[in-house]
Amino acid sequence: MLTKIEVAFKELLTCLQTAKMYGTEHPMFQKSLEKAYGAFEDVFTQRQEIIIGIVGDELAFEKEIFFELGKLLRSAILYLKERNIERLAFYRGLSREELSKFIGIISGPKEDFKTDPQQLLAFVGIENISIGKLKVADSQVKGAAEFNQPNLYDFSMDKVAQVVSSVLNLEKIDPRVLKVSLNNIIDSLSIQRQELLKLATVKRYDAEVYVHMLNVAIFSMYFSSRLEFEKSDVLDIGVAALFHDIGKMYISRKTLHKPDKLSEQEFDRIKSHTVLGGEFMFKYVDSLGILPVVVSFEHHLKYDMSGYPRMPLLRKQHIVSSIVAICDVYDALSQRRGYKQDYSPDVVYNIMNKDRGSSFDPELLDRFFQFMGFWPVGSVVALNDGSIALVREENESDIRRPKIEIVAPEDKKRMVDLLQDGSLCIERYLNPWKEGREYLGLGH
């Protein structure tokens, strides 16, 4: 059914483009109209209505987003948005004449759409089509479009807080808006990967649970995209990663942030967050799918199944749970919190590699650090000649020797590829909240 709906809208927008090129009286338009109408008739044999939304620059139907169709018909989508059309609904009973009139109207000048576009349809007697703005909060739609702005990280954190709060209150959420938001993050990773990963690796002093959840989602999407997962799967992984720790919302902050050794009862309570999270996310299976349930439940199982919750029958951890587990621990070790110090990247690397083959899939762990680097993008580092540099890009063939920008002293400022310059090497990491702070704003 989903394929039939995708075909119907592809034919509809193709028909619109044909009308713009040839007019509605041309035989090419009539031929295109026949194909579009036939495609809608095929869908109406099984459905009463078809409602498509334009969220950001993507076409969405219920909880699915037609990414490939969106790429193919990007100009037609932008054309509709210019005419204040973000929601299109077609109902069983639609006639060929109505569809022809509809195409004729929307192929007209955009000045005609300054008022409510639905009034234009009513004026010519179209009863089985409705168009207009999306029936979601303006802030949600606006939010999906603003992800490419410089405040992407801050805005995304606020968005996560809203979505997670809605889930915790058992409120209905719009999975389309959530997926489009995550899709914009994926697009930003491909366009401005260094900047976004820098925001995620150079942690704030006032980091909270929402920051951790968003960071794990960003890392998981970046990691899975580098592993060449399909884009739709990367989105699903991002959603699952976003909610991996949802069960912790039901555990006392006093217990979670306790600086002293936990009692056995307190530790059991913390371990219960995986079961709590899995049970909770099961309530959202219809809108978010089963993967958030699996990842919430499994992300502490460990690669050798020695973690929790204990399983009566040993089985292999789902690959997405393994991906999220690596990103979860990486962010938790890197991030400064009120009850612990952050660790430098070299210490994080050493800690995680001690659990290679036990906690973590060894092959996945190697690939993760190959992509993230030993010294992550944005790290402030001291070199063996006494100069200070910022890490700008990883070298996957040697993760300890990235591409850097020397920012101090003034007379040594330049870009250096440590793979090409054997005289220089990184001696130590400078904490961005202490001795490295003054260098963060330097460079290009």
Q: Write the pLDDT tens digit of every residue in 127-156.
A: 899 888 765 433 343 333 333 344 555 566
Task: Dig out the tokens for 330 from the structure.
Answer: 């990486």
Q: How confident is the model at residue 424 (pLDDT cuts 50, 70, 90)?
A: very high
- pLDDT at position 6: 86
Q: Per-residue pLDDT tens for 229-254?
A: 988 899 899 999 999 988 887 665 54
Q: Per-residue pLDDT tens for 256-269?
A: 555 666 666 665 66
Answer yes or no: are the C-beta atoms of 424 and 403 closer than 8 Å.
no
- pLDDT at position 198: 53
Instruction: Rank 82-96, 198-212, 374-388 by mean pLDDT and report only the highest.
Output: 374-388
Q: How confident is the model at residue 79 (pLDDT cuts 50, 70, 90)?
A: confident
Average pLDDT over residues 153-172: 71
- pLDDT at position 382: 96
Q: Per-residue pLDDT tens for 249-295?
A: 766 554 455 566 666 666 566 678 898 889 989 999 988 999 999 99
Average pLDDT over residues 316-339: 86
- pLDDT at position 162: 74
Is residue 173 exposed (0-12), middle (13-18) or buried (19+ Cβ within 10 Å)?
Answer: middle
The C-alpha atoms of residue 359 and residue 303 are separated, in whole angstroms, by: 5
378: nearest Cα among 332, 431, 427, 416 = 431
- Rounded to two decimals, the pTM is 0.67
Q: Domain 139-372 has what CATH class?
A: mainly alpha
The C-alpha atoms of residue 159 and residue 142 are separated, in whole angstroms, by: 11
- pLDDT at position 158: 63
- pLDDT at position 156: 60
- pLDDT at position 39: 94
Average pLDDT over residues 166-175: 79
CA distances from 274 to 37, 182, 214, 270 (A): 49, 23, 18, 8
Answer yes or no: are the C-beta atoms of 399 and 370 closer than 8 Å.
yes
Average pLDDT over residues 408-436: 92
- pLDDT at position 25: 87
- pLDDT at position 21: 87
The C-alpha atoms of residue 282 and residue 385 are separated, in whole angstroms, by: 56
Q: How confident is the model at residue 75 (pLDDT cuts 50, 70, 90)?
A: confident
Please state which of the ranges 10-24, 297-311, 330-344, 409-423 shows the lowest mean pLDDT: 330-344
Average pLDDT over residues 66-94: 82
- pLDDT at position 194: 55
Give me the percent of the chain exceeding a pLDDT of 70.
Answer: 79
Average pLDDT over residues 26-43: 93
Average pLDDT over residues 99-124: 81
Average pLDDT over residues 60-68: 73
Please state which of the ranges 25-34, 329-338, 390-399, 412-421 shows the lowest mean pLDDT: 329-338
The C-alpha atoms of residue 388 and residue 382 are separated, in whole angstroms, by: 5
218: nearest Cα among 99, 443, 372 = 372
Who has greater pLDDT, 23 or 152? 23
SS3 of residue 417 by DSSP: strand
Average pLDDT over residues 398-423: 94
- Cα atoms in the Cβ-side hemisphere of radius 13 Å centred on 11: 22
- pLDDT at position 327: 96
Q: How confident is the model at residue 65 (pLDDT cuts 50, 70, 90)?
A: confident
On average, the pLDDT of the chain sits at 81
Domain ranges of the chain: 2-135, 139-372, 380-439
Please determine, for residue 227, whether its predicted confidence score (pLDDT) is greater than 90: yes
The C-alpha atoms of residue 442 and residue 444 are separated, in whole angstroms, by: 7
- Cα atoms in the Cβ-side hemisphere of radius 13 Å centred on 52: 25
Give me the percent of the chain exceeding a pLDDT of 90.
Answer: 40
Who has greater pLDDT, 63 or 370? 370
